[in-house]
Amino acid sequence: MMISPESYYEEHLKGKDYRQIVSIIRGLKNEMGRLKKMMEHPDYDTGVIMHPSEAVRVSCNREYLERAKQALVEIGGTYIPSQAEQRAIDFTDNINHIIKITFSIGGFFGGNSIFVADLSGNELKFESHCYDEQKSIDVYDEDGEPLTKDTFLDGIRKLHMGEWIRSYSPKRFNYMVLDGTQWEIEIEYNNGHKKVRFDGDNSYPYNFNDLQTLFGIEEDCENVK
């Protein structure tokens, strides 16, 4: 059972010195990376189900990491983000400036489907291009309510996409897959920030299914992952 960030502080951080807290921070970051890579492995779905799940453990470790950084500051230390963390911070800081996300996914035999989230106005607009058919679509949240611009951006925020690597491939795991599924995401901004792209070839971020759900793909086209 996972514990709260404050309970984690009491158990693991309270009374620790600078070097000890830095070591804990390093361990938390390594554990998050290990869990994500485990979930991104091509054989992940065939493994033994753990409780709490790897996804829950990633989420909790992220909270513990933030509490550990805070603890470091509280004793007079300074936390310097890595380049990867700086990219993640930059992504999060610019989420409210996103005006368009184009998500394409498909394969050689099944064709390519494109989903567009238009956030340029006051209201969120969704459009899909599936099987040579273009149409506007309605997407709903987990409570069955229409997804708004704010709730959609909050969903993007919860995905922590700034932590994703830019290109996913099964070669990371010494796998070779022919044909299969390719995907790409392009994110556009209204504040001069350069476009951000992610893509994959038969390989996906650990929370890719959550992205598909956010775009309503399970309802509009066949779920390919």
CATH number, span 92-220? 3.30.1560
Cα–Cα nearest to 164, from 117, 111, 204, 115: 204
For 215, counting Cβ atoms within 10 Å of its Cβ (0-12 exposed, 13-18 middle, 19+ buried), the class is buried
Q: What is the pLDDT of residue 90?
A: 98
What residues does 136 pair with on adjacent strands? 127
Interval 167-220: pLDDT, tens: 999 999 998 877 789 999 999 999 999 999 999 999 999 999 999 999 988 644
Q: What gap in Å lies between CA 3 and CA 7, rounded to an integer?
A: 6
pLDDT at 49 over 50: yes
Question: Would you list the domain boundaries of the chain?
Answer: 5-80, 92-220
Q: What is the pLDDT of residue 224?
A: 45
pLDDT at 221 over 60: no
CB neighbour list of residue 136: distance below 8 Å, 6 or more residues apart: 125, 126, 127
Residue 102 · residue 114 · CB < 8 Å: yes
Interval 80-125: pLDDT, tens: 999 999 999 999 999 999 999 999 998 766 678 899 999 999 999 9
Q: Name the average pLDDT for the chain.
A: 90
In DSSP notation, 66-120 reads HHHHHHHHHTT------HHHHHHHHHHHTGGGEEEEEEEEEETTTEEEEEEEE-S
